């Protein structure tokens, strides 16, 4: 465990894992996931971590006890989380609602929130200490800190929920922790709303699921055992430096669009991809609230797609930043109810394939997901959100560093030589103000 500024060493004492079950009887049934939920690319554990400071008003209350009890109450309403995933015909995933519960671990760490400093942001070098990985299981872990604060961390299978669905579940737990007996927003299953049509029919082009070959031999494989994990903080100065490169004719651009295009371009240059090789970027787009698309309030399944923008590497690298931004905008403009139905149909027709990997890069905008608002009674977390990037998957989140500066953090994983070239390219493109690298680790 290490920080870019100083060593970060502490010990964690864990109790034996236990299962937290719904406090009241729940239906014993089998529930199908949607055809958006059970695609291969979502069959992994989503790691989330939240850091809470001491609150003198909560003196005498144990966060472990409060959260454990609230979890059991919330599982009465979200009982599929207490079940077990099973696979049926055509790799269809279902939840066997057994009521077995969620694994819960209690722990104590001999450190303080102040000692952790900027290490609490994504790519936290102490993450593996703070969220014990029990093979084959998702789990919740609450770690008390010496200062009176605590760390709440979890892993849950992504096929069950997207970030907004998970937040809905966590908010229900937080409401139970603060005395409510019924969640203010009741959960809705109805996964059939995002199932394939009968008969299924692929009606859109899906570059994100194309089968491609490394034809030029320059699309470097990502060896999970040899990746450098780093996070980059972009404050107002860095973002202004990038916006100054954009022409007025481009129109309004979100900070996410600017940073994603910037990181994608620098990453491609760092990989030294052959100019004629096709590269792609996939941005996650949530369909909730989109025009012409309806899901009932309380729906907590996956409701997003990740359309890919494609271009030849040479075009991306030699053109100015606006070229990449226009590609992102074009993909977003194609989103519709028909597009997500086409994805569901593709899953059934092609056997729930994995997304394209060679030459692809995923970025998700979780700046407004709501992780930083989850309050178990101790107030809001000083950081709450996804814990780390995963191979070719990154995300953009809000973060306030130890200097009090507000900005955006993007964690990224790259092979060591590529990471060094990537950092150099980042510096070259933001000469006015370099992005600040916060955390480095080898995982």
Q: How many angstroms separate the CA atoms of 435 and 272, rounded?
A: 21
Cβ–Cβ < 8 Å for 405, 203: no
Catalytic residue among 158, 206, 207, 229: 158
Distances (CA, A) of 284 to 28, 201, 304: 34, 22, 6
The active-site residue out of 115, 319, 375, 401 is: 375
Strand partners, 53: none
CA 102 to chain CA centroid, nearest Å: 20
Q: Decide if 158 is catalytic.
A: yes
CB atoms inside a 10 Å sphere around CB 410: 22
Q: What share of the chain is helix, strand, coil (3-state, %, to 5)?
A: 30, 25, 45
**In whole angstroms, how far apart are CA 255 and each of 261, 264, 378, 385?**
10, 14, 31, 18
DSSP bridge pairs for 440: 230
Question: What is d(CA 388, CA 366) in angstroms, rounded to the nearest whole number?
Answer: 13
Q: Is 291 a catalytic residue?
A: no
Which of the residues are catalytic? 158, 375
């Amino acid at each position: 465990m290490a920080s870019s500024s100083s060593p970060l060493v502490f010990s964690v004492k864990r109790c034996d894992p236990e299962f937290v079950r719904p406090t009241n009887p729940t239906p014993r049934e089998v529930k199908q996931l949607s055809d958006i939920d059970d695609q291969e690319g979502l069959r992994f554990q989503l790691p989330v971590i939240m850091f809470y400071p001491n609150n003198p008003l909560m003196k005498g209350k144990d966060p472990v006890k409060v959260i454990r009890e609230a979890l059991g109450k919330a599982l009465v309403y979200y009982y599929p989380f207490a079940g077990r995933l099973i696979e049926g015909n055509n790799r269809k995933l279902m939840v066997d609602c057994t009521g077995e519960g969620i694994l819960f671990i209690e722990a104590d760490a001999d450190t303080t929130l102040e000692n952790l400093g900027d290490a609490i942001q994504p790519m936290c070098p102490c993450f593996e200490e703070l969220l014990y990985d029990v093979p084959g299981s998702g789990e919740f872990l609450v770690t008390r800190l010496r200062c009176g604060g605590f760390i709440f961390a979890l892993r849950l299978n992504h096929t069950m929920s997207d970030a907004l669905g998970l937040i809905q579940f966590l908010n229900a737990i937080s409401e139970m922790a603060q005395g409510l007996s019924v969640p203010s927003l009741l959960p809705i299953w109805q996964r059939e709303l995002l199932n394939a049509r009968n008969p299924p029919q692929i009606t859109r082009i899906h570059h994100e699921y194309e089968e491609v070959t490394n034809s030029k031999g320059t699309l470097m494989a990502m060896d999970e055992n040899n990746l450098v994990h780093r996070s980059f903080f972009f404050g107002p100065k860095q973002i202004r430096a990038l916006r100054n490169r954009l022409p007025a004719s481009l129109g309004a651009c979100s900070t996410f669009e600017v940073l994603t295009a910037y990181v994608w371009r620098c990453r491609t240059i760092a990989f030294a991809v052959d100019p004629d090789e096709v590269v792609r970027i996939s941005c996650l787009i949530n369909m909730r609230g989109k025009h012409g698309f309806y899901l009932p309030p309380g729906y907590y399944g996956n409701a997003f797609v990740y359309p890919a923008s494609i271009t030849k590497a040479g075009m991306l690298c030699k053109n100015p930043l606006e070229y990449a931004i226009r590609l992102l905008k074009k993909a977003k403009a194609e989103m519709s109810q028909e597009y997500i139905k086409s994805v569901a149909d593709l899953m059934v027709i092609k056997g729930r394939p994995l997304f394209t990997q060679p030459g692809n890069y995923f970025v998700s905008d979780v700046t407004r997901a709501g992780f930083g608002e989850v309050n178990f009674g101790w107030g809001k977390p000083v950081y709450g959100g996804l814990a780390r990037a995963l191979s070719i998957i990154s995300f953009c989140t809000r973060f306030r560093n130890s200097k009090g500066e507000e900005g955006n953090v993007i964690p990224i994983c790259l092979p060591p030589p590529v990471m060094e070239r990537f950092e150099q390219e980042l510096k070259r493109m933001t000469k006015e103000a370099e992005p600040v690298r916060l955390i480095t680790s080898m995982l």
